A and B are shown apart, each in its own frame.
Chain A
Amino acid sequence: MPEITVQGISKTLGGLPTLGEISLQAVDQEFIGILGPSGCGKSTLFNIISGLLQPDAGRVIIDGRDWTGVTGRVSYMHQKDLLLPSCSVLDNAAIPLVLKGMSRRQARERAAEHFRQFGLAGFEKYYPSQLSGGMRQRAALLRTYLFSSDIMLLDEPFAALDAITRRKMQVWLLGVFQELHPTVLFITHDVDEALFLCDRVYVLSECPSEVRLEVKVPFCRPQSWRTITDPGYSKLRDEILEALSI
């Protein structure tokens, strides 16, 4: 049962106090949203959780072990797909397995097994530049999943997509995650996206950012693309917007 606890993380970047003191937690198979104004240090937070950055204070505990400043435990997906233009989609997806020491052939086979599930079947040999934006993000997500399947950090993965593709990707993501059961931390600045996808949402303030609000999303996940019509929805949405002081 993966469990990730962020305890009192703070960080000053280039003289600017970016993260005030942030604590959050995600337990088994939860889908956690992290919502905040742009420039509030959300990506810095993920850089710390993934171990790329050392925090000034605080700790990152995963499954009872201290992973502060150590990379390699959780997988991290950026807003840009960051697929290597020089490799086929299959080779791109297989990269984390190769880095873990698997042979290239074995890694390709393992990665290929997931292509259908990620809606990429038939595109194994294509170069990333030949795919649509949505497909590239799915390939990047597959690569992320193959690195660490139980805890995934997703940093605005759909922000660069157009509204229609984004909606499709959200619905698709929910479907895939119902089969894969990962624990997810999901950065977004879209309130509706957060309420649509997440079990729980942390709302961050502006720099130096702190957790201003933590809400449980009570709606059961919609079975389809339908708009959530629960009367509690707009109330919760307003509450979050107020916390963001919009």
Chain B
Amino acid sequence: MKRSKSIAEQGAPFFFLALLLALWEAAVRWGGVPQWILPGPLQILKTFGETFPLLLKHSRSTVLECLLGFAAAVILAFIIALLMDQLPLVRKTLYPLLIASQTVPIVSVAPLFIIWFGYGILPKILVVVLVCFFPVAISLLGGLAAVDREYVELFRSMGASRMAIFRMVKLPLALPSLFSGLKISAAYSVMGAVIGEWLGAKEGLGNYLTLSQRSFMVDRVFAAILAITVLSLIVFAVVAAVERLIIPWHRLDKR
């Protein structure tokens, strides 16, 4: 009984998605929507298959930007969060700036990057850093701050150094929080790279997206969207897998 219920629960989202796609296909097919306004899911899938080598080629640079940007964002977030955690003055100074930086719309900054740094890979990486930095920094900072003070005092009473306390207590206990931020960033990172490319690039999915759009090949636009979604999910899944590997104890805790 319970087993069949869990199968039904797991199947529900797929079933719902299939239903939506079927409705879409039917509306396009029998509703008289022209192909260049809105293609049906089957047509998109067909285009996706046909243009797969092209998509793959563009994906390569997008993935590169996304990974480099993500890595840079994580390193930067670590440095900033550690400084803010250890030095109260730095924390007080940077915290409002950190929040304010998030209110700047990325689409308005990205063109500036292109003016400053040209059409190469750097401005795209910067956009990814901008998108990914904040969730990681905030989640790590929150995780470090949420560590029970009694842990720290216990370790202090055992004569542990500041460094040892950080390494043995604060960082491991902050990991679950850090990973929730990492997962958010991972899901956004591909989007960041695409936005960067969208505003001007020689290749990449964002570039492919704009080109297809300007030549009214809507089915290609959708194929590119599909590719972006799949890539985002893959990056997310990799981070989630790393999480399971690094903090196996966290899943036990939630039980």
Contacts of B157 in A (CB 8 A): 50-52, 71-72, 75-76
Given known contacts A52-B153, A99-B164, A129-B252, A85 and B158 CB-to-CB distance under 8 angstroms: no
Asked if A47 and B153 sit within 8 Å, CB to CB, the answer is yes
What's the least CB distance linking A113 to chain B, in Å?
20
**Closest B residue to A86 using CB positions:** B172
Contacts of A96 in B (CB 8 A): 158
* Per-residue interface assignment for chain A, residues 40 to 65, with 1 indicating a CB less than 8 Å from any chain B CB and 0 otherwise: 00000001001110000000000000
What's the least CB distance linking B64 to chain A, in Å?
33
What's the least CB distance linking B152 to chain A, in Å?
10
Asked if A71 and B151 sit within 8 Å, CB to CB, the answer is no
* Interface assignment of A80: CB less than 8 Å from any CB of chain B: yes
Interface hits, A191-231 → B, CB 8 Å: none
Asked if B158 and A95 sit within 8 Å, CB to CB, the answer is yes
What's the least CB distance linking B94 to chain A, in Å?
28
Contacts of B156 in A (CB 8 A): 52, 71
Asked if B158 and A72 sit within 8 Å, CB to CB, the answer is yes
**Closest B residue to A77 using CB positions:** B154
**Closest A residue to B247 using CB positions:** A86
Interface size in chain B (residues, C-beta < 8 A): 23
Given known contacts A47-B153, A71-B159, A99-B159, A82 and B148 CB-to-CB distance under 8 angstroms: yes
Contacts of B148 in A (CB 8 A): 80, 82
Partner of B168, one of A76, A85, A95, A147: A95
Residue among A50, A71, A85, A86 facing the most chain B CB atoms (10 A cut-off): A86
A contact face: mostly helix, strand, loop, or mixed: loop
B contact face: mostly helix, strand, loop, or mixed: helix
Q: Give the complex CA separation of A136 and B25 in angstroms.
A: 58
Partner of B249, one of A85, A95, A99, A147: A85
Interface hits, A74-91 → B, CB 8 Å: 75-76, 78, 80, 82, 84-87
Asked if B247 and A82 sit within 8 Å, CB to CB, the answer is no
Interface hits, B205-255 → A, CB 8 Å: 247, 249-250, 252-253, 255
Partner of A130, one of B159, B164, B252: B252
What's the least CB distance linking B244 to chain A, in Å?
14
Interface hits, B150-178 → A, CB 8 Å: 150-151, 153-160, 164, 168-169, 172-173, 175
Q: Give the complex CA separation of A50 and B154 in angstroms.
A: 10
What's the least CB distance linking A33 to chain B, in Å?
21
Asked if A84 and B172 sit within 8 Å, CB to CB, the answer is yes
Interface hits, A86-111 → B, CB 8 Å: 86-87, 95-96, 99-100
Q: Give the complex CA separation of A50 and B247 in angstroms.
A: 32
* Interface assignment of A127: CB less than 8 Å from any CB of chain B: yes
Give residues in B with beta carbon < 8 Å to A: 148, 150-151, 153-160, 164, 168-169, 172-173, 175, 247, 249-250, 252-253, 255
Give residues in A with beta carbon < 8 Å to B: 47, 50-52, 71-72, 75-76, 78, 80, 82, 84-87, 95-96, 99-100, 127, 129-130, 147
